[in-house]
Each structure stands twice: as C-alpha cells, then as structure tokens.
C-alpha cells in the first residue's frame, strides 16, 4: 500500500554548484546537507518524481514526456566540465500522460514536450538527493503570465499523485534578486523569509496569503520577477490541507542572504 507523500518547495542554489569544488560549493554546504537528508524523511522511496522548476515557462503547463530526457545547461560563466555533467534519471511517459490528464481535468491548459532536457533547477536539486538517479523524473513547466492562482490550481490538480507514489518537488528559491546577493540582500531576504515562516505553517488561510504574496514585507525586492517563488504555489496547492514546516534555513547564504525550503505534509 502506497503512503501519501509530502510535497516540497526547495531552494535550489546557484548554477551547477553540486558539480563544483572550492568556495562556491562550500557556500552551498547547508543546502546540500538538507537535500542529502531529505530522502530519509520520506515514508517510502518514491516511485517517481514530478519536478516543477523555476527555469521553464511555457504558454501552457508543459510536461516532459521523453523516456530518457537529456540535459539543458541553462547557466553561463561556469567551468567547462559543468557543461558536460549528466543526470541520467529516466523519464516516465506514463506519468507524463497522467499529469496531462489531471491538468486538463482541472480545466487548465496542458502540453507535452519530448525534446527538452532537465534544467539546472531540476538536476542540481536532484543530484544530492538521489545521486544514483534511480528514480524516474518528469519535469513540468510554469505557465507564462506567472499567475499565483493558476499555479495553486495546478497544485490542487496534481494532489492525487501524492497517493500514487509520486514525489512533487517545486524547485525555486526563497529569495531571488541576483543584484542583491551578499550583504545588500541581508535585510530584504530576512524580511521576506520572516513572512514565509509565518504564512506557510498553518493551512488555514494559507492560499489567501500566498495569493497576496506581493504585499509581504520586501516581497518585490526578494522577487522582482516571481518565477522562483511560483514552484512554492504548486507545492502548497498539492498539499492544501496539510501543515508545513521549514526543512532548510540559513541566514548567511552567499555572504548574507536568508534562504529556506519547506515541506508540506
């Protein structure tokens, strides 16, 4: 019998950090430790993973349906070897079709993509968690327009997957203003993170708080563009009646930023 799995919003760090050494990798040490520890907190090993990455936007919610997805190196300025790394997890075409069916049944637009590879929001989160790449992965896009209500609705539509052995992961970042990493981001990231810590734990009224996220302290400084926050909406929507807890938190990421990840259920 399959146990209901939790959902997660994960801060995924910068670029191809799991495949690097030195100071840049060490700056992600707390994040890496949290990701490595995550599988042991699950009630059972997932049959598959549905990954919603901040780094993919389409006009409809689009599902990767290839049986063996490739790689998309959607970053720049990193060492040459980081453009050759491979995360060889298989796809799951049957799960992709199930996802499309659930999205369409909810009255939302859905599409398929058999060509796109895993982006770094996906593979740099998964590599520490499942280094053997032995869990099938299906990646799902955000929808252009970046409407919170649509992404909460997407999460609600996907909720049945939790009872089917599918681990739903939203990969983004709790603070994503690339001009303010370091000390200049200390105050706004702490202010917005404080709001997340108060807004997410209780399911009562959480959806309403998330819909009004732009009114939170330092919200538009923390997220000038909200694509790195919307995977949170999907994870929360898929676990709408469940309490949430913070499973990763630090106050000095990249020299001063407060960053967090959250578990729902």
Residue 88 is predicted with a pLDDT of 98
The domain spans of the chain are 7-264
Average pLDDT score over the chain: 96
The pLDDT value recorded for residue 2 is 74
pLDDT at residue 261 tops 60: yes
Q: Looking at the DSSP assignment, which residues form a beta bridge with residue 250?
A: 259
Find, among 209, 249, 210, 242, the residue nearest to 226 by Cα. Answer: 210
Instruction: Please spell the DSSP secondary structure of the chain, one letter per residue.
Output: -PPPPPEEEEE--STTGGG--SHHHHTTHHHHHHHHHGGGGSSS--SEEEEEEEEEEESSEEEE--SS--B-----SS-GGGGS--------HHHHHHHHHHHHHTT--EEEESSPPB-HHHHHHHHHH-TT--S-EEEEEEETT--HHHHHHHHHHHGGGGGGTEEEEEEE-S---GGG-SGGGHHHHHHHHHHHHHHSS--TTHHHHHHTGGGSTTHHHH-SSGGGTHHHHHHHHTTTTS-EEEEEEEEEETTTEEEEEEEE-
Residue 1 has pLDDT above 60, yes or no: no
Which pLDDT tens digit goes with each residue over 146-176?
A: 999 999 999 999 999 999 999 999 999 999 9
Tokens of 25: 């990798």
Dihedrals phi, psi of 258, to nearest 5 degrees: -85, 130
* Contact status, residue 261 vs residue 229, Cβ threshold 8 Å: no
41's tokens = 């907190």
pTM given for the model: 0.97
Q: What is the pLDDT of residue 248?
A: 98
Question: Residue 168's closest CA among 184, 179, 157?
Answer: 157
Q: For the domain covering 7-264, report its CATH number.
A: 3.40.830.10
Rounded Cα distance between 242 and 264, Å, is: 6
Sheet holding 48-58, edge to edge: 110-113, 61-64, 137-143, 48-58, 166-172, 7-11, 257-264, 244-253
Residues 180-225 have pLDDT tens digits of: 787 888 999 999 999 999 999 999 999 999 999 999 999 999 999 9
Tell me the pLDDT tens digit for each residue of 92-142. Answer: 999 999 999 999 999 999 999 999 999 999 999 999 999 999 999 999 999
pLDDT of residue 179: 76
At residue 181, the pLDDT reads 81
Are 183 and 253 in contact by the 8 Å Cβ rule? The answer is no
What is the C-alpha R_g of the chain? 17
């Amino acid at each position: 019998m399959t146990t209901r799995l939790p959902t997660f919003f994960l801060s995924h760090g910068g670029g191809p950090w799991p495949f690097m050494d030195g100071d840049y990798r060490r700056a992600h040490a707390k994040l890496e430790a949290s990701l490595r520890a995550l599988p042991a907190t699950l009630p059972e090993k997932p049959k598959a993973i549905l990954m919603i990455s901040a780094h993919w936007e389409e006009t409809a919610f689009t599902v990767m349906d290839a049986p063996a997805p490739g790689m998309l190196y959607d970053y720049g300025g990193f060492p040459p070897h980081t453009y050759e790394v491979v995360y060889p997890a298989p796809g799951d075409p049957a799960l992709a079709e199930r996802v499309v069916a659930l999205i369409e049944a909810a009255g939302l637009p859905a599409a398929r993509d058999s060509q796109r590879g895993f982006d770094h929001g996906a593979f740099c989160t998964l590599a520490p968690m499942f280094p053997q790449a032995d869990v099938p992965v299906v990646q799902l896009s955000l929808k252009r327009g970046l409407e919170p209500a649509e992404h909460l609705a997407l999460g609600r539509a996907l909720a049945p997957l939790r009872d089917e052995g599918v681990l739903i992961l939203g990969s983004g970042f709790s603070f994503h203003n690339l001009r303010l990493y370091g000390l200049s981001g200390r105050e706004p990231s702490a202010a917005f993170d404080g709001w997340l810590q108060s807004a997410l734990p209780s399911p009562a009224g959480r959806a309403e708080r998330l819909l009004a996220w732009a009114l939170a302290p330092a919200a538009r400084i923390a997220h000038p563009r909200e694509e790195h926050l919307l995977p949170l909406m999907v994870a929360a929507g898929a676990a709408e009646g469940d309490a949430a807890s913070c499973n990763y938190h630090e106050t000095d990421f990249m020299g001063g930023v407060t960053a967090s990840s959250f578990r729902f259920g």
